[in-house]
Amino acid sequence: MKCEPNRLEIFLTRLAFLICGRCVYQSFADHLPLEGWENVLDFGCGMGTVAYYAAKKLPHGHLTCLDISERWLNACRKTLRNHGNISYLLWEFPMLDDECFDVVYCHFVLHDISDSELEIVLPELAGSLKSQGVLVFREPLTDTNKISFIKRLTEQNKLFPIDSRITDIPMMGNSLECIYIKQ
């Protein structure tokens, strides 16, 4: 499924990043379990709002930004132009190598994916994690059925919950942040 943003959507996302970057995107990046050496995947990177802060936490690591949209990836390249430890991938299934990432994160992405596509995406993300690798996601709490479905699929793919918290995000409302580990 291709979903190219229009110019207004990119402009509004950039504006939100400039106005709310620290309280929304940096706060999520700050809770990622990173020590600085990890191989990390930003699934659904968009224009790189979280990646901007995550890349700074990886001085000896590598960040892969993945999206379904070439337009978002171009915006992401622009946002992250000063970082050298980043690669960019346009999503095509299947494409992720098995057990290659220490951390995979998704910020406000999974709720926009249809249930049938999530049944493909979540096993792919789980398979891309190394043993003891971590999946972190933040999703809006507006659809608890969707959240339950995401959590159930995650656990069916042998990822185990280790932490979760509800946060109130300015202008976005309550969201759920979950951390799962692959054993």
One digit per residue, the tens of pLDDT, for the chain of length 183 reads 456 766 767 666 666 666 665 668 899 999 999 999 999 999 999 989 999 999 999 999 999 999 988 988 999 999 999 988 999 999 876 678 889 999 999 999 999 999 999 999 999 999 999 999 999 999 999 989 999 999 999 999 999 999 999 998 877 789 999 999 998
Asked whether residue 147 is assigned to any structural domain, the reply reads yes
CATH code of the domain in which 140 resides: 3.40.50.150
Q: How many structural domains comprise the chain?
A: 1
Asked whether residue 101 is assigned to any structural domain, the reply reads yes
pLDDT of residue 169: 81
pLDDT of residue 4: 72
CA distance 98 to 127: 5
For residue 167, what are its two tokens? 């946060």
CA distance 76 to 48: 5
pLDDT of residue 1: 46
Asked whether residue 2 is assigned to any structural domain, the reply reads no
CA distance 177 to 171: 17
Asked whether residue 37 is assigned to any structural domain, the reply reads yes
| Residue 91 · residue 67 · CB < 8 Å | yes
Distances (CA, A) of 179 to 70, 85, 139: 28, 24, 12
| Residues of the domain holding 42 | 7-182
pLDDT of residue 15: 66
Q: Write the DSSP symbol of residue 86.
A: E
| Residue 96 · residue 30 · CB < 8 Å | no
For residue 46, what are its two tokens? 């968009």
Asked whether residue 168 is assigned to any structural domain, the reply reads yes
